[in-house]
Amino acid sequence: MTFLVLGTLLYFLPSILGHNKHNAAGIFLLNFFLGWTVIGWVIAMIWACSAEPRAPVFVVAGAGRICGRCGAPCVGGARYCSVCGMAV
Ligand SMILES: [Zn+2]
């Protein structure tokens, strides 16, 4: 029984590690359908551990920051865009 639980956790480790990624659904589907092929599991693991591309942050002198996703200006100390919620 313990082996079954640990095996299931190990099998879905890429999905667990990538659950808060932007494309967590893709990682889960790859893990679920191709994890048994080992190479599919390895690819899902690499995908889950890879860094996500960050939206560029543009800093305009004297005008605060501009959101890299939607282009909305953000006030001085804001850490998140007030329009789309993206971290700036
Ligand atoms: Zn935004």
Q: Give the distance (Å) from ligand 1 centre to CA of residue 15.
A: 28
Cα separation, 32 vs 68, whole angstroms: 33
Q: Provide DSSP, 54-84.
A: PPP-EE-TTS-EE-TTT--EE-TT-SB-TTT
Is pTM, for the whole model, over 0.85? no
Question: Ligand 1 centre from 78 Cα, in Å?
Answer: 11
| pLDDT confidence of residue 39 | 95
User: Concatenated DSSP letters for 37-61?
Assistant: GSHHHHHHHHHHHSPPPPPP-EE-T
Ligand 1 centre from 69 Cα, in Å? 5
Tens digits of per-residue pLDDT, 33-72? 999 999 999 999 999 998 887 777 666 565 577 888 898 8
